[in-house]
Amino acid sequence: MAQAIAFTAPTRRALVQATLAMAAVVLASNILVQFPINDWLTWGAITYPFAFLVSELANRAHGPGHARRIAWVGFAVAVAASLVLAPLRIAVASGAAFLCSQLLDIQVFDRLRQGRWWRAPLIATLLAAVLDTALFWSIGFAGEDLPWITWAIGDLGVKLAMGVSLLLPFRLWIGRRASLRQSPRSS
C-alpha cells in the first residue's frame, strides 16, 4: 500500500514567486520562439524547460495541487501577456501546449515521486517535453512557410538536454531544503 505523503503548506510568498517564475518563463519563451538561431533551433527552446523545473520544485515541496495552481495561474498570466506581445497563433499554441504538458508533467511526477530522486523529474520532463513540442509546433506553425519541423526537432532536442541538465539544480534544491529542515531555528 502506498504511504501518504505530507506536504508543507506553501506560503503566499512561495505561491507568488513560483507563479511569477512560471509566467516569466512562458512569456519569455513565447517571445524568444520567434527568433531563430538557425534552421534547427529558436531561442525559446533554451528558456522553456525551466517551466518544468518550476512545476516540479513546487510539486516536490507542496504537492500536485499546489503545482497545478501554479500551472493554471502561470498559464493565464502568460497567455494574457502573450496575446499582447506575440502573434495570436503562437499565444494559442503556447497556451494549449503549456497546459497539456504541465498537467502531464505534474501527474507523472506525482506518480513517480517515491522512487529515486532523479526518476520523477527526468521522466516527467521528458514525456511533457515531447507532448509540448508536438502540440506547440503543429498548432503554432503548421502550414507556415518556415522550417518549423526542423525547429520542432531542434526544440525537442534542447528540451531533452535541458531536462537532464536541470536535474543538478533540482537535486541541489532538494538537498538545501533537507538541510534547512534539519538545522535548528535560531531564536
The C-alpha cell that represents 111 in the structure block: 506518480
Residue 26 has pLDDT above 90, yes or no: no
Neighbours of 129 (CB within 10 A): 25
Q: pLDDT-derived band of residue 29, with 50, 70 and 90 as boundaries?
A: confident
Q: How do residues 49-86 score in pLDDT, each as one tens digit? A: 999 999 999 998 889 998 999 999 878 877 787 788 87
Q: According to CATH, what is the number of the domain 12-171?
A: 1.10.1760.20
Residue with cell 512561495: 14
Q: pLDDT-derived band of residue 187, with 50, 70 and 90 as boundaries?
A: very low
- SS3 state of residue 35: coil
Residue 179's H or E segment, with its range, is helix 167-182
Domain-by-domain residue ranges, the chain? 12-171
Q: How do residues 111-145 score in pLDDT, each as one tens digit? A: 998 889 899 999 999 999 999 999 999 999 999 99
Sign (positive or negative) of CA dihedral 54, 58, 60, 65: negative
